[in-house]
Structure 1
Amino acid sequence: MPSRSRPVIVAVVFTLLALAGCSGGAGAGSGATSDSAALTAVGPKKAPGDEVCGRAAKPSGSRTIKHAMGQTEVPADPQRIVVLDSDKLDTVCALGLQDKLVGAIAVGTGEQPQYLGPTVHDVPTVGSIAEPALEKIAALKPDLILGSKFRTPDKYDELSKIAPTVFTESVGSTWKQNVLLDGKALRQGDRAKTLLTELTDRAEKVGQQVDGPTADVSLVRFIKAGIRIYGPDSFAGQVLADARISRPQFQQLNGAEDRRFTEISEEELQHADGKTIYVATYGQENVEAEQSALGSPLWKTLKGVKAERAFRVQDEVWMTGIGVIAAGRILDDLQESLAS
């Protein structure tokens, strides 16, 4: 028995010595803190609490958008959108947000445009561009309204009481800026920029394909007030310019205060001439005026007509679309007609 217990005793002794050594080291260190050369402790005087960890950022419930009427807090992710101009309808569709549309004004025919496809055909109509139906809009409970200062500046305050409302400044000549602002309000600013860049690139390619610099394209439209010739600052005119497609000298509207369009009489149809003539008519009520002009002797003398280079185009695309999708359709028409 004694011989067996000796190894155990030795092990215990060594363990006690080791513990004593550790204890002595700690004591030496403790003694150093009282020495004149000791370091002063720096750091928190109490154990840290939960505040040491960061807090996750909460998704913003709104964003501030600067626009033609000031600044407006809009939803971070709009779900119920009402549009009060045709360009806004085009932009919403171009950005793939058509399923979030709950209301839109009607242009011309009183129906939503065919060129945007069937998705928008069932969108409820909320009045006209000049007279949006406020009660109908309110009943739809929108969380974002897109409109234009140019169209209905007097309706802004009433619309703003219904839902956050963003107005662009003008129409036609500012259509690209409008796409960007509307895209920003819809939380799709980067996508809107990309769409415009892609459109510009395509326009340049189309212009090269159809020999744009020699095309000499005329833009004519029949409306209630008479006959309009569309210039370089119009929507369609800008699409032609992006494609480097030339225009007749008169239709440059040089020196005019408004270079979007000018009006002519039936006796001035020579100003509608070009190597290729595109004709649009606003609404069925103006078809009679169109037929009168197209049946006149002066129209038949135009070089574009004599060369059988006069084409009818969709008014809802070339004139009232005023957006990325409509611009793409114009390029389609140019490819088809100018390449023939």
Structure 2
Amino acid sequence: MKNNMITAVVAGAISAMLSFNASARDVKHELGTTTVPDQPQRIVVLEFSFVDALAAVGVVPVGIADDKKRERISSAYTDKIGEDWVSVGTRKTPSLEVIASLNPDLIIADKTRHTAAYDTLSEIAPTVVFDSLGGDYPSAIAQLETIGAAVGKPDEMKARVDAHKAKIAEIGAQFKDAGNYKIQFGVANAKGLWLHSPVSYNGSLLKSFGFTSGMAPTEGAVYESNYVKTSLEQLSTVNPDILILGRYANPSFADGWKGEALYEGITAVKNNRVFYVEAHVWSRLRGMVAAETTARDLLNIMKQVQN
């Protein structure tokens, strides 16, 4: 019954696509080249960074993988896209049935999370895939040009990206002695701590400002190379001068280490340089708004460090 439902809804989506009276363009992405309408009107996005991209050029999506928690779409985005989107479920496993029911003419998906579903998504609507979860900051910015073209807003996207780069450069110029500090960001929930490595979105953003990292190079899948589950012993080996933590639980797993000699011996802890930031923005969003917020937060942190 479920498969029949998907088939029926997909057939409706295909019919809607065939009747779409617009020219088309070819868009190159992580999994190939896809022909998309010149001005797509019904876009579904499956990662928060793609919400950021659409909000940047004033394009309103019909569906968002919002993890079934609408509050995760911040006011920085809803001020531009409104709140009338339909939730298509979680970013990890979005509902194909709900996506198909929206009759989209473009789907923007993530390489790590959605490659396995790419063929099915492509049956529903033209699908372009970019590396959000596994990508670094430079690639996240570079792919915006392609997303802008895919949604028919190349000039508007270029203007927003140029403004973003100017803002980041302005803030970055204030980190004159960044190379003197080993800095580390991680997120902690009730069950563990995950450090964001230098090849992750935030790790590479910090690196672009000139900060160094005590993490050794890692290889493997995204959750082995980018987001590394870390023990107290491993954290003490990284031994950052500045430790920035985002809590998904309060108290978090890492808070349980307070008072332990190994934790208290970490340079950042000894020097009262452990800082807390909003985990959702620093870790999940991975777009221009996230980078600009991170930069501003980091500037405030460094003012405290240097006072």
Instruction: Give the TM bin, normalised by the shorter chain.
Output: 0.7 to 0.9
Q: Which runs of 5+ in 1 are unaligned?
A: 1-58
Q: Which residue, out of 267, 271, 292, partners 1:307?
A: 271
Q: How does 1:52-201 map to 2 (within 5 A)?
A: 61-97=23-59, 100-107=60-67, 111-114=71-74, 116-119=76-79, 122-169=84-131, 171-173=134-136, 174-201=139-166
Identity %: 27
Q: Which aligned pairs between 1:319-338 and structure 2 lie closer than 5 A? A: 319-338=283-302
Residue 228 (structure 2) aligns with: 262
Scaled by the length of structure 1, the TM-score of the pair is 0.71
Give how far 1:101 is off. 1.3
Q: CA deviation at 1:139?
A: 2.0
The Cα shift of 1:287 comes to 5.0
**1:198-251 C-alpha deviation (Å, 9 max, x unpaired):** 43343333233133222432112225773222222111122222222x123x22
Structure 1, 144-153 or 108-117: larger mean CA deviation: 108-117
What is the CA–CA distance in structure 1 between the aligned matches of 2:76 and 2:260, rounded to whole Å?
Answer: 34
Name the larger-Rg structure. 1
Q: How many positions carry a matched residue from both structures?
A: 275
Q: Mark the CA change 1:310 to 1:238 in structure 2 (over 3 Å): closer, same or farther.
A: same
Cα gap change, 1:95/1:290 in structure 2, threshold over 3 Å: closer, same or farther? Answer: farther
CA contact (8 A) 1:146 1:165 kept: yes
2: CA distance between counterparts of 1:259 and 1:139? 36
Using CA pairs below 8 Å that are at least 6 residues apart, which structure has the higher relative contact order?
2
Cα distance, 1:306 vs. partner? 2.9
| Aligned-partner residue type, residue 210 of structure 1 | F
How far, CA to CA, are the matches of 1:154 and 1:114 in structure 2?
28
Is the contact made by 1:134 and 1:159 (CA closer than 8 Å) also made in structure 2? yes
The Cα RMSD (Å) is 2.8
Q: 1:184 to 1:243 in 2, by over 3 A?
A: same
Structure 2: runs of 5+ lacking an equivalent: 1-20
Deviations 1:246-272 (A, max 9, x none): 123x22x34756753433212333145
Q: Identify which range, 136-145 or 189-198, moves more after superposition.
A: 189-198
Q: Which moved more, 1:195-204 or 1:313-322?
A: 195-204
Q: Deviations over 1:176-210 (max 9, x none)?
A: 33323222211233443444444334333323313
